A and B are shown apart, each in its own frame.
Chain A
Amino acid sequence: MTLAPQKGRALIVIGALASVFLALGFRLFDLHILQHKELSALAQANREQVVHQQGRRGAILDANGNLLANSLSVRIVTADATITAPQAASIAEKLAPLLKTDVESLTEKLSGQSHYVRLNPRAKLDEDTVQKVRAMKLKGISFEDQFIRSYPNGPLGSHVIGFVNSEHMGVQGIEASMDDYLEGQAGYEIIEHDRKGHEIRALRDEELGPRDGFNVVLTVDQVIQHVAEQELDKAMVEFKPQAGVIIISRPKTGEILAMSSRPTFDPTNMDAASADARRNRCISDVAEPGSTFKIVVCSGALNEGIVSLADQFDCENGAFMYAGRILHDAHPYGVLSVEEILFHSSNIGAAKVGLRMGPARLAEYIRRYGFGHKTDIALPGEVSGIAHPLARWNSLSITRIPMGHEIAVTPLQMLMAMNTIANGGMRMKPMIVKSIVDQDGTPVLQYEPQQVGQVVSPRTCMLMTTALRKVVGPDGTAPKAGVPGFDVAGKTGTAQKVENGQYVRKYYSSFIGYFPASDPQISILVSLDDPSGGAFYGGSVAGPVFREVAEKVAEYLGIEPQTQQPPQAEVAKLS
């Protein structure tokens, strides 16, 4: 019976082993069956990673395909300060020259308590530098890709281009209005990585690549924009106005070739840009247009057949009493024809043309020219201006509105009104975006010039052009606006500013013109807000700026000079 104890021991061993295996089995059951869901997710998370990829924001190009704004992918060096802290000084000494920063500030960043510190949030790192930093194998230092918005021309056209915020979303200008097209679509990848964190490409599970945003092609030409800004800067130095704008367009299509506004800002340095400097005054500021508005009343009256260019009005030697108030002219005039009223810019003459026209018809032409309504240019922040409805006109309105008082317009609205005359009476919608193209340059969306409506007849426009040509002549208000070799038609404006409800001795000096008058290719608006130094008339302040801009633009575009006057007999017949 010696087997009994052995059997007993054997049973104990078997029992122990069975218990161990049972326990292991239970543990396996627990891990694989009971905790399967949580643990498999944990295991998957350990080896799988979802990598989000940001789509690159599209570029903004000028009419000739020159880059005005683009997004660049840059490497940001980041640090886990809790790891780098013990060796902060030595790491900072190694990195500072490569990151182009000083050792002290870098040491401070590296010795903090944060797990995530950006060491070069602004500086661009090229690939060589990245490789050098990588080769140092510094503990706690890693890299991150980030997009930054680049404006290669700096402040050029900043009011048109606009800028983006820290989240890469458009805030102003084309960046904001075309944000839906410019914005890229994010993509993602589900990847598996090895122990070292490197992706095992063969095990990439899902992949949806990011889509880069579309490029926006503008009608703006960067050279013409540069000319406009350069001349505006010169005018700002010479006449020291509070603000100034220049807009250059093609009257036949409504394309905006340049739009500049001062004060301005640099989109690459938004910290230094004040809210005042960021405002695009071409579309967001309104002011009384002054004498430039006489083109509306005179063209309306000519179009209605109420007056002809030769019809004469008594300009009362510079003082005209109407509805108990005296209306003055800058210079006393006697009897003037409608043509002379335009090129001498007589307020009394314009008021009398308005009186003959009547409030209802004048209000109708104000509406037809688009005043009081947005032009719907593809830029944010545009305002409608102020054009009171006929019901709110007072007894003086019919004499004040024809000379550009009691109405407020944006510079763009006024230029589009002049463009209407230059374009044979057809009002065009201002156009600043030419097309939307993909990254290969294939057009996705093509914008065409849009006609708004026929405001006045081509015959009226021809008569208006005849009169407006004389504005730059020796007897006109803007002889300095004449461009040698070109027949220019234009109108000056010197509007008094209103402060606290009172007219003050401050002026908006402006000139709007187009050339060649016989076949208008280019129209230009120059307006300076409160020029100082004595001169304030539109002809003597804005006129010379117009000439400088026009000469350079004509040279650049290769517009052939041809001083060609229409046959006088034909004009007389139409008149």
Chain B
Amino acid sequence: MKRNRKREQLRFGTVTKSLVVCICIATSGLGYVWQKNTIYRLGDEIKKRETALSSANKRNLMLAAQMAHLESPAQLEAECQQYNLSLVAPKENQVVRLYEPGPEWDMQMANAPLPAQFQQQTLGSQPKTLAKR
């Protein structure tokens, strides 16, 4: 006995399942395409940045060489002469030499008595005169 399929009501579960399956397949397909597209797009982006980085590195090297040339003693002397800068090395009497105190000085200072105004203060407290300033 044949059933009349036209009159038969669509089952919700079946339709939902079919839709879910279709959506999954469509999403997977679109997702795959989107991912592939993204991979290619990012690949192009990486390539562009690689090229830019390479160019920047090359330019950096070129500029470093230019800077080294400009900083070379011969070049600096030539520039000084060209612009008549009259630059000369300082004479010994124009030089003020500052000596870095060594460990001996530290020991000497550690054992030296404190000046009177600091003797009342404990370590960590701030002198009032300094605080006012």
Contacts and interface: CB of A to CB of B under 8 A. Distances in A.
Interface of A: 56, 66-68, 70-73, 124, 126-127, 150, 152-154, 156, 199-204, 222-223, 226-227, 485, 552, 555-556, 558, 560-561
Contact of A127 (B40, B47, B59): B59
Contact of A72 (B39, B65, B74): B65
B97 A70 contact: no
Contacts of A67: 64-65, 67-68
B19 interface: no
Task: List the 5 shortest-distance A-B pairs measured between CB atoms, nearest first.
Answer: A201-B43, A202-B43, A67-B68, A152-B68, A226-B73
B65 A200 contact: no
Contacts of A223: 73
| Range for the number of chain B residues in contact with chain A | 20 to 34
A123 B64 CA distance: 18
B71 A560 contact: no
A202 B39 contact: yes
A556 B95 CA distance: 12
A154 B42 contact: no
B79 interface: no
Contact of A202 (B42, B59, B71, B95): B42
Main secondary structure of the interface of B (DSSP, over half): helix
Contacts of A66: 68, 71-72
Most buried by B among A124, A150, A227: A150
Contact of B47 (A73, A126, A201, A555): A201
Interface string B68-95: 1101111000000000000001101001
Nearest to B91: A555
Contacts of A126: 59, 62
A154 B68 CA distance: 11
A485 B91 CA distance: 12
B61 interface: yes
Contacts of B64: 67, 70
B54 to A, nearest CB: 8
Contacts of A558: 95, 97
Contact of A199 (B47, B69, B97): B47
Which of B43, B72, B89 has most A Cβ within 10 Å?
Answer: B72
Contacts of A556: 89
B72 A152 contact: yes
